């Protein structure tokens, strides 16, 4: 868990989940050390390798061997970006903690600006607002769909121009460590915590190498899981839909009875078709409802297992503590 900051500990910790960024890690380290040198000499760089298959851990070991302020964590398997962020936050000891991606789309030179904004406005949380996003069209489209769906379903409010990149006071990190649910969504969890929050316009760079580790299907799956974890509106919509079907069934039955009593309808074929379609409709709705409820139960089941959010296979760096 995160320790209380003292004068002997790094003033700023930078947490970076690493996956598929072997080609940018050295440049990222150089730019980070330059940017932080303008702010403080007391900092900690935490690189969390989320079982990246491209040799990222070898580069992290090399960086830690030459820079005593680098701490490398190598996870035992791929736990996902947000679990990797959690692993880094659990080892962060700075008074302020920066979270950013490893692909250099989050610009390291913006860190002093985020820190200055937090100080001047007495904020605990400052997210970087990407006013000119350089993501692919697919990723931007998925992001817009996700945030609109989340807002419509009554989930936590979140600015779609912000992501993980931001600076957070130590007290925020301590509070965040109390949230150990298995479905992780770092920026949404931070928003939920409260505290004094703000955002600052920052540069967003184009991806220099490789491609996003999230496919379109993975982004949609993540969005769906987050919605299930943060909103019960799908269940409430099912209840309302059930009420509409009941009312419709009552009206249809009333119409059929009226036709039989007053002789306005004697079509046996029409009645058979209506009955068959009703059975198919109700059967489909029941299966869908059972599936949705099952997903909520599954999420609850995953939570009560109380499994660790991540497992560290090995660590490297002068700041490593066992």
Residues shown for the chain: 322
270/291 same-domain check: yes
117/60 same-domain check: yes
243/190 same-domain check: no
Instruction: Band the pLDDT of 241: cuts 50, 70, 90.
Output: confident
Global pTM reads: 0.74
Is 181 within 8 Å of 111 (Cβ atoms)? Answer: no
Of the listed ranges 13-17, 111-115, 176-180, 201-205, the one predicted with least confidence: 201-205
pLDDT at 299: 66
42/181 same-domain check: yes
Kind and range of the H or E run holding 79 = none
Is 98 within 8 Å of 60 (Cβ atoms)? Answer: no
Which residues are CB-contacts of 24 (< 8 A; sequence separation ≥ 6)?
A: 102, 103, 104, 208, 209
pLDDT tens digits for range 297-319:
766 766 666 788 999 999 998 55
212/262 same-domain check: no
How many structural domains compose the chain? 2
Instruction: Band the pLDDT of 163: cuts 50, 70, 90.
Output: confident
For residues 300 and 77, what is the distance between their CA atoms, to the nearest angstrom? Answer: 23
Q: What is the mean pLDDT of residues 207-236?
A: 65
173/194 same-domain check: yes
pLDDT at 255: 66
181/35 same-domain check: yes
237/212 same-domain check: no
Does residue 210 carry a pLDDT above 60?
no
For residues 42 and 294, what is the distance between their CA atoms, to the nearest angstrom? Answer: 49
Q: Domain range holding 57?
A: 12-230+312-316
266/197 same-domain check: no
128/218 same-domain check: yes
4 occurs within a structural domain: no
pLDDT at 67: 92
Of the listed ranges 107-111, 201-205, 236-240, 302-306, the one predicted with least confidence: 302-306
pLDDT at 322: 42
Please provide residue 132's backbone torsions phi and psi, each rounded to the nearest 5 degrees. Answer: -130, 75
Q: Which two tokens stand for residue 250?
A: 């009552």
1 occurs within a structural domain: no
Q: Which two tokens stand for residue 306?
A: 């109380």
pLDDT tens digits for range 165-188:
999 999 999 999 999 887 788 888
Q: What is the mean pLDDT of residues 266-289?
A: 67
322 occurs within a structural domain: no
For residues 96 and 155, what is the distance between their CA atoms, to the nearest angstrom? Answer: 28
Instruction: Report the CATH number that the domain containing residue 225 is assigned in CATH.
Output: 3.90.550.10
Does residue 5 carry a pLDDT above 90?
no
202/290 same-domain check: no
123/256 same-domain check: no
């Amino acid at each position: 868990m995160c320790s209380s900051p003292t004068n002997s500990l790094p003033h700023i910790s930078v947490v970076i989940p690493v996956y598929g960024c072997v080609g940018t890690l050295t440049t990222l380290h150089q730019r980070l050390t330059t940017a932080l040198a303008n702010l403080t000499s007391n900092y900690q760089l935490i690189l969390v390798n989320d079982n990246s298959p491209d040799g990222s851990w070898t580069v992290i070991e090399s960086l830690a061997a030459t820079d005593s302020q680098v701490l490398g964590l190598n996870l035992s398997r791929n736990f996902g970006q947000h679990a990797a962020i959690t692993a880094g936050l659990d080892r962060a000891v700075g008074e302020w903690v920066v979270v950013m991606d490893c692909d250099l789309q989050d610009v390291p030179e913006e860190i002093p600006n985020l820190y200055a904004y937090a100080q001047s406005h007495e904020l605990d949380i400052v997210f970087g607002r990407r006013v000119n996003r350089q993501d692919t069209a697919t990723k931007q489209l998925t992001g817009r769909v996700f945030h609109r769906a989340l807002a419509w379903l009554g989930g936590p409010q979140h600015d779609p121009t912000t992501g993980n990149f931001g600076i957070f006071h130590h007290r925020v990190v301590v509070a965040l460590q109390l949230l150990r649910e298995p479905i992780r969504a770092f920026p949404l969890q931070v928003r939920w915590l409260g505290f004094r929050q703000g955002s600052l316009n920052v540069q967003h760079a184009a991806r220099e190498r490789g491609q996003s580790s999230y496919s379109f299907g993975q982004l949609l799956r993540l969005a769906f899981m987050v919605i299930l974890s943060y909103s019960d509106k799908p269940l409430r919509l099912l209840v309302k839909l059930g009420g509409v079907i009941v009312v419709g069934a009552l009206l249809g039955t009333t119409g059929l009875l009226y036709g039989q009593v007053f002789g306005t309808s004697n079509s046996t074929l029409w009645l058979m078709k209506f009955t068959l379609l009703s059975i198919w409709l109700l059967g489909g709705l029941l299966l869908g409802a059972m599936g949705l409820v099952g997903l909520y139960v599954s999420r609850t089941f995953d939570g009560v297992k109380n499994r660790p959010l991540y497992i560290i296979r090995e660590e490297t760096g002068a700041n490593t503590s066992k």
